[in-house]
Chain A
Amino acid sequence: MRWERVRSLGLILAGLVLLGTGLVRGEARAVLAKAVRICLECIGIG
């Protein structure tokens, strides 16, 4: 039981580290830049 929980918590922690690293690298700005424009490909034009 303990091992399974440790593994799950480790994965969550690894995910949070990736997320935090991405934020520090300013990736949220890149997401914003993409998401505020109409994605022509997504709507079937591009």
Chain B
Amino acid sequence: MHRGSRLRVKRRFTQVACALVANGYLPGFVGAAIYQGPVKYACVPFLNCHSCPGALAACPVGAFQAILAAPAHGVSLYITGLVSTAGAAVGRAICGWLCPFGLLQELLARPQAHLVRFPRALLALKYVMLALTVTLPGIWVGAGGVGAPYFCKYLCPAGTLEAGILLGLRDPALRPLMGTLFAWKVTLLFVFLALMVFTYRPFCRTLCPLGAFYSLFNRVSLWRLNLDEARCNRCGACRRVCPVHIPVEENPNHPECIRCLECTRVCPADALRFGRASAEG
């Protein structure tokens, strides 16, 4: 098999395996309960709602906010350390290789979806989301000084898809409780599902606070894209194939890069490599 094809297969296999392992609690899909065992001491480094019937571990975004929203308003060093370590190691490769919601977006996208460009303001919105996600649950508090995981509550379509709809279908006791908020979240989910068909990874690139966090590490992560300037002939093949439209030959570790490594696949001069930071990178 060609090296480029192998890379694509390897990435897809990793994404699917990760989605299956992270949501591998099969009894949850049969009944209406969620997994309550000791694996949930652990967090996954990507977005994966822990209220999904199949989820085996905690979602870092949900758990971080839930802890911040509690009366003590503590910042979880455990979760901050976990995602910082992952980011410092591989940056947004977490988004491109592990995130199940990222996989869903790629599976739904039409072949031409990557041709649609997002305005810079939309791309910057995820940083606003990150700032709000890590502050709001601790400062916008109600009775008893308790906040809420506002990102999960009002925006996260992953929770609606993986948990809300699945649990709502299975648990008759939950159905009467599903009102305006649920309708809003389902509407938002379907808006995003439609966008996923016509654009490439719209949620990751515009709203995901975890994607925003990992993007801060792309330039400084240990494993990154290294461009061999001496080999690069500026043909632009990497730029043309990039699904998130980054100027690869100018800034291979751009914050928007999800490290799908398509650029390394098409480079005729073999000037791009993903590996440990090198002098050229």
Contacts and interface: CB of A to CB of B under 8 A. Distances in A.
Interface of A: 1, 4-5, 7-9, 11-12, 14-23, 25, 27-32, 34-36, 38-46
A41 B220 contact: no
Given A12-B88, A42-B152, A27 B78 contact: yes
Nearest to A29: B41
A7 B50 CA distance: 33
Contacts of A19: 77-78, 81-82, 84-85
A34 B79 CA distance: 13
Given A15-B81, A31-B58, A36 B222 contact: no
Q: For the side of the interface on B, what is the size category?
A: 35 or more
Which of A4, A12, A36, A41 has the largest count of B CB atoms less than 10 A from its CB? A41
B246 to A, nearest CB: 20
B221 to A, nearest CB: 6
Given A15-B88, A43-B164, A46-B148, A35 B222 contact: no
A46 to B, nearest CB: 6
B51 A42 contact: yes
A16 to B, nearest CB: 6
B186 A30 contact: no
B251 interface: no
A20 to B, nearest CB: 7
A36 B36 CA distance: 5
B84 A14 contact: yes
B102 interface: no
A45 B277 contact: no
B265 interface: no
Contacts of A22: 76-81
A15 B82 contact: yes
